[in-house]
Amino acid sequence: MRPRVLLVVVAAVACGGDASRAPARPSIGNVPGPEPVASAPGSCVDPIAGTWRARVYRAEVGKLDEVTLTLARVGMTELRGQILVETWDAAGRDEEPPACPDGAPAVGRVVQMASGWFRDRELDVVGRDPKRVAAPCDVPTEAGYNPDHFTGELDEDGRTLVTTNDDGGLDVGRPHVFTRIACQGT
């Protein structure tokens, strides 16, 4: 994927564009918070199939999202799975969910079916039909939810998916760095 990014930057400059305006690719180094911890490289048979998790703090709305991607192969490059987004009010990236009056965590949950592809370490996964399955403290909400769309690549170490989410709403180009939490079938 890196050669194509370089080609886009070179083409932009050659056509009179400004290379400094090219979108930044997310990396471990430019995502706030601690680096994720993951299993040893090569410990999973398939480099992409399994469960991946990212935490993303959205300061503009005071929310912390924990996004879990569960992916399975359906052929050489095709993927199917699920995206679970759990969200709660937070003042920072490492906070745990606040409690409801009954003591339960005040967490909203949205589930989406996912499909996409993975080849040459590049990933493209699109959510569809998001369903709100839980509201914080069971307080109904009319808020909509745009399907997530993650694109990026598996990092050199094979433990981290470095992606951006473009949902057409609040998350346009928002970095999401996923760490594998389970191999497929575990």
Domains and CATH numbers, the chain: 45-183 (2.40.128)
Mean pLDDT over residues 73-96, rounded?
92
- Residue 107 has a pLDDT of 94
42: pLDDT confidence band, cut at 50, 70 and 90? low
Name the pTM for this structure. Answer: 0.77
Phi, psi of 83 (to 5 degrees): -115, 125
Residue 172, both tokens: 């346009």
**Residue bearing the bigger pLDDT, 157 or 51:** 51
Report the DSSP pairing between strands 78-89 and 122-134: unpaired
Distance CA 148, CA 171 (A): 8
Distance CA 101, CA 14 (A): 60
92: pLDDT confidence band, cut at 50, 70 and 90? confident
